[in-house]
Chains A and B, each alone.
Chain A
Amino acid sequence: MTNRSNWAMLAAAAVAGWLAAGSASAYPTKPITLIVPFPPGGSTDIVGRIIAEGLSKELGQSVVVDNRGGAGGTVGTTAVAKAAPDGYTLGIGSTSSHAVGPATLPKVAYNAVKDFAPISLVGETPYVLAVSPKVTAKTVAELIALAKSKPGQLNYGSAGAGSTTHLAGAMFAAAAGLKMEHIAYKGNGPATKALMSGEVELLMGSMPAVLSQIKGGTIRALAVGTVKRSPALPDVPTMREAGVAGYEASLWLGLVAPAGVPQAVVTRLNQAVHKVVSDPEVAKRLQATGTEPRINTPAEFAKQVQDDLAKYTKIAKDIGAGGS
């Protein structure tokens, strides 16, 4: 590289930095739209609204939730990817929209890695391995023994073919070397009900969907899929503790912007999210829905998206899920 082009680049960077800093000191000057790619009322929407409320106070501009549900979160996420990268359109990205959706759906109009500027993680929801009351197994080891004694006879439920819970269940089966039948339901509610009535023997459920039944004693939790135990269910071991190596999965939710937003906006938003999520009131609300507050840097978040996309793409290929 010549000296001259070096100087030119430096100058350009300086100008860009100055421009960004200038706009950031003012950012945000108008209301921000937060696209939640799921219909009102789902766990993503509830988390989105909790964060939107916190961000509104923190940024001094109202953050308006715009629900754009459809196609496993990919319709709304497409809208985020295509929005102007000015920091006034943000989205809630999740395992669904940034890993499972692109892995299982035939046509997704965005690249989960390249088309977004990750801001920060907001929360993490463990998958919970739950069994029906009709299943006698009290530990994961007993469950694995049971499933191995009846190959292909046990059913695991999910909230839909190609959904996060389907892939989580398939990953568990693969990690434990089990052969089980996948039974798809239309959403978490019906899947949980099927588990309660014993129509399916087990379910890799998302925490918000199964927490109240576990607490009510109508289904039993054998393990959580996260690295650490969940504060919501402190007595339930992790998969690793329960002896299933190589199973580590959770549902995450985070704030994303379209690729190309000024670095200063990313920094400002990252700070704001950290402050909001660290607020004990907000944390309490998130925890009540089964979501553990989590924060990280944009770089860490980007890496997580990349890793999960690779992980879920592989499992989706292995089981031939969805239209992929």
Chain B
Amino acid sequence: MELIGNLALGFGVALSPMTLLYCLIGVTAGTLIGVLPGIGPIATVGMLLPITFHLPPVQAIIMLAGIYYGAMYGGSTTAILLKLPGTAASAVACIEGYPMAQQGRAGPALVMTTLASFFGACVAIIIVGAFAPPLAQFALEFGSPEFFSLMLVGLIAAAVLAHGSLLKGLAMAVLGLILGMVGQDVSTGFPRFTFGLGELYEGVKFVIVVVGLFGLAEIVHNIGLGDKREIYAKKVPLRELIPLRRDLRVSFWPMVRGTGIGAVIGILPGAGPAISAFASYAVEKRIAKDPSEFGKGSMAGLVAPEAANNSTAQTAFIPTLTLGVPGDATTAIILGAMLIHGIVPGPKIVTEAPELFWGLIASFWIGNLMLLVLNLPFIGLWVRLLSIPYQILFPSILLFVCIGVFSLNNEPADVIMAAAFGIIGYVFLKLGCEAAPLLLGLILGPMVEENLRRSLQLSRGDPMIFLTRPISLTFLIAGVFLILLVVVPALRKPRKDPTIAAGSKES
């Protein structure tokens, strides 16, 4: 009952006309920067920060938060249509969404991702509102050994779930791990594989790799197709925007699972929406009745990660608000904005600033509703993008990619790196090596290493630290179970059908 009273207070704050306006500005800006490839919410929130100095605190925070979760909606649009992820978290949408667009089902794909986004966010908002303080406690119990074990299970999943050419899958995953080693070593501060370039000290940026391997490589590939490529463009049936009833049916449980996974990962500071998207994709593929659909436009593989990254974007506010520890770089800026306005995030925020806390929660829901209304009518327009002649479309895409990548850090070297990954990605495409295991290695590798070394440092070299802590032990048991699950049947019969695997060996 208390929750309802609190929500009433929250909606009272969030429904005032000015607050609604700032919420609308935030989510609109978020959708736009989400659509533009490379330009992420971090830079946008950072740049809008000074404007908020002159706003009342609640409205300022509501606007900045709107940009953050709004970007999760827009990010999948170009991923589906052009295989060009708008944000790091929407990279997974390329894998299943782009094949759907090629089959002329871009409309249903976009509608379903928008619905999945809305669903994931709404459920997560309820979790934030009802359970924020106890969940924050859970986040604190997640130390370095727990992170290591969780990420290790992720890597095991990546390896054992590979179908078909296990060799290619593993090779790509290892390549990802190697790329992940570039940059300053967390434990010692020594630069590794930076070749003396300051630009590489912070490692190879995930967004750059994703934009290169997926988006730019696809452009090269499409140009190589010549006249054959025109066929997709003409095949877009504008009437068929509406998802079939079957789409809704097969999407429901994946959305629920994705939301759950995303909610848990959002609570853990430092993990972020990209990991939650990959994790839920892996789960869907594992439990799918017909895994061969994956990589060829599986609806479950599209909507689950989409629900997951939106769910993460909302629950990431739990550690930010109740612990004062940001979940990722964007929430860190929002935290900074709160401090400037004299709001001290922490365990007492719920009691000391109830209008802000509940107002924010209510605004999340209103913002997501606005996003739904904003995004659905645009889908027809986005799909029409595909009918633009390719000789006009691809230079425009290249231009946006360059601007987006440059704006990450105002760094010309980043643009050159994206181009290099574009060429590498084209080679992979020709060799039939899928990029997904590489991406998973690139995200998980550094976290596995960092937490392994830190855990062993904390235990002064005793590996028992991973087995004596219950949460960590649970994950390790799950990892062993995963290996058995694959190894036992594999011993009985040989790996089957290498041909399906091409699109589906990521995690």
Among residues of A, the one whose C-beta sits closest to the C-beta of B324 is A212
Contacts of A290 in B (CB 8 A): 339
Residue of A40, A109, A215 near B45 (CB, 8 A) is: A40
CB of A83 to closest CB in B, whole Å: 13
Contacts of A323 in B (CB 8 A): 189-191
Q: Please judge, given known A-B contacts A49-B50, A68-B410, A208-B339, whether A197 and B143 are in contact too, CB under 8 Å.
A: yes
Which residues in chain A, 179-209, are within 8 Å of chain B measured between CB atoms? 181, 183-186, 189-190, 192-194, 196-197, 199, 208
Residue of B43, B196, B325, B340 near A289 (CB, 8 A) is: B340
Residue of B42, B339, B409 near A212 (CB, 8 A) is: B339
State which of A71-79, A136-144, A270-278 sits at the interface with chain B.
A71-79
CB of A216 to closest CB in B, whole Å: 3
Q: Please judge, given known A-B contacts A75-B201, A161-B188, A322-B189, whether A41 and B336 are in contact too, CB under 8 Å.
A: yes
Among residues of A, the one whose C-beta sits closest to the C-beta of B147 is A190
State which of B253-261, B327-335, B386-394, B488-496 sits at the interface with chain A.
B327-335
A322 touches B190 (CB 8 A): yes
- Check: A19 CB closer than 8 A to any chain B CB: no
Q: Please judge, given known A-B contacts A212-B346, A288-B339, whether A193 and B457 are in contact too, CB under 8 Å.
A: no
Contacts of B323 in A (CB 8 A): 193, 196, 213, 218
Contacts of A288 in B (CB 8 A): 339-342
Contacts of B454 in A (CB 8 A): 183-185
Contacts of A250 in B (CB 8 A): none
Q: Most B CB atoms within 10 A — which of A189, A213, A290, A322? A: A189
Which residues in chain B, 91-143, are within 8 Å of chain A measured between CB atoms? 139-141, 143
Q: Please judge, given known A-B contacts A41-B329, A70-B201, A70-B409, whether A197 and B140 are in contact too, CB under 8 Å.
A: yes
Contacts of A41 in B (CB 8 A): 42, 45-46, 49, 329-330, 332-333, 336
A70 touches B411 (CB 8 A): yes
A-B contact pairs, 21 of them (CB 8 A): A40-B42, A42-B336, A46-B336, A67-B43, A67-B409, A68-B410, A70-B198, A71-B198, A78-B198, A104-B189, A162-B189, A184-B454, A186-B186, A190-B325, A194-B144, A199-B458, A216-B348, A288-B339, A289-B339, A290-B339, A322-B190
- Check: A86 CB closer than 8 A to any chain B CB: no
CB of A123 to closest CB in B, whole Å: 13
- Check: B230 CB closer than 8 A to any chain A CB: no
CB of A313 to closest CB in B, whole Å: 15
Q: Cα distance A67–B407 when bound, in Å?
A: 9
- Check: A217 CB closer than 8 A to any chain B CB: yes
A186 touches B450 (CB 8 A): yes
Residue of A66, A68, A71, A155 near B201 (CB, 8 A) is: A71
A39 touches B53 (CB 8 A): no
Q: Cα distance A66–B47 when bound, in Å?
A: 10
Contacts of A193 in B (CB 8 A): 139-140, 269, 319, 323, 325
**B interface residues (Cβ-Cβ under 8 A, vs A):** 42-43, 45-47, 49-50, 53, 139-141, 143-144, 184-191, 196, 198-199, 201-202, 269-270, 319, 323-326, 329-330, 332-333, 335-336, 339-342, 344-348, 409-411, 450, 454, 457-458, 460
Q: Interface size of A by Cβ–Cβ distance < 8 Å? A: 61
- Check: A114 CB closer than 8 A to any chain B CB: no
Nearest 9 A/B pairs, CB to CB: A40-B46, A216-B346, A41-B333, A161-B189, A162-B189, A71-B201, A212-B324, A322-B189, A71-B198
CB of B319 to closest CB in A, whole Å: 8
CB of A72 to closest CB in B, whole Å: 7
Q: Please judge, given known A-B contacts A40-B42, A40-B46, whether A213 and B191 are in contact too, CB under 8 Å.
A: no
Among residues of B, the one whose C-beta sits closest to the C-beta of A40 is B46
Among residues of A, the one whose C-beta sits closest to the C-beta of B450 is A186
Contacts of B202 in A (CB 8 A): 69-71
Contacts of B411 in A (CB 8 A): 68, 70, 75
Among residues of B, the one whose C-beta sits closest to the C-beta of A162 is B189
Q: Please judge, given known A-B contacts A161-B188, A197-B143, whether A190 and B270 are in contact too, CB under 8 Å.
A: yes
Which residues in chain A, 92-113, are within 8 Å of chain B measured between CB atoms? 104-107, 109
A70 touches B199 (CB 8 A): yes
List 10 additional A-B contacts (Cβ < 8 Å) besides A41-B46, A217-B347, A285-B53: A41-B49, A46-B49, A50-B50, A50-B53, A70-B202, A70-B409, A106-B191, A160-B189, A192-B324, A211-B339
Contacts of A216 in B (CB 8 A): 324, 344-348
A155 touches B458 (CB 8 A): yes
Contacts of B346 in A (CB 8 A): 212-213, 215-218
Contacts of A163 in B (CB 8 A): 189
A43 touches B458 (CB 8 A): no
CB of A203 to closest CB in B, whole Å: 13
CB of A127 to closest CB in B, whole Å: 18
Q: Cα distance A290–B340 when bound, in Å?
A: 9
- Check: A233 CB closer than 8 A to any chain B CB: no
Among residues of B, the one whose C-beta sits closest to the C-beta of A163 is B189
Residue of B187, B198, B409 near A74 (CB, 8 A) is: B198
Q: Cα distance A190–B333 when bound, in Å?
A: 15
Q: Please judge, given known A-B contacts A39-B46, A212-B345, A288-B340, whether A321 and B140 are in contact too, CB under 8 Å.
A: no
- Check: A115 CB closer than 8 A to any chain B CB: no
Q: Cα distance A227–B42 when bound, in Å?
A: 36
Q: Cα distance A218–B323 when bound, in Å?
A: 8
Q: Most B CB atoms within 10 A — which of A163, A183, A213, A216? A: A216
- Check: A53 CB closer than 8 A to any chain B CB: yes
Contacts of B335 in A (CB 8 A): 212
A189 touches B50 (CB 8 A): no
Residue of B185, B188, B329, B336 near A43 (CB, 8 A) is: B336
- Check: A124 CB closer than 8 A to any chain B CB: no
Residue of B187, B326, B329 near A161 (CB, 8 A) is: B187
Residue of B50, B188, B329 near A39 (CB, 8 A) is: B329
CB of B231 to closest CB in A, whole Å: 42
B347 touches A218 (CB 8 A): yes
Contacts of A78 in B (CB 8 A): 198
- Check: A248 CB closer than 8 A to any chain B CB: no
Among residues of A, the one whose C-beta sits closest to the C-beta of B53 is A285
Q: Cα distance A109–B139 when bound, in Å?
A: 41
Contacts of A43 in B (CB 8 A): 336
Q: Cα distance A11–B185 when bound, in Å?
A: 55
Contacts of A74 in B (CB 8 A): 198
CB of A232 to closest CB in B, whole Å: 11
B339 touches A189 (CB 8 A): no
- Check: A45 CB closer than 8 A to any chain B CB: yes
Q: Please judge, given known A-B contacts A53-B50, A189-B325, whether A181 and B339 are in contact too, CB under 8 Å.
A: no
CB of A161 to closest CB in B, whole Å: 3
B190 touches A183 (CB 8 A): no
Contacts of B46 in A (CB 8 A): 39-41, 45, 67
Residue of B42, B53, B269 near A190 (CB, 8 A) is: B269
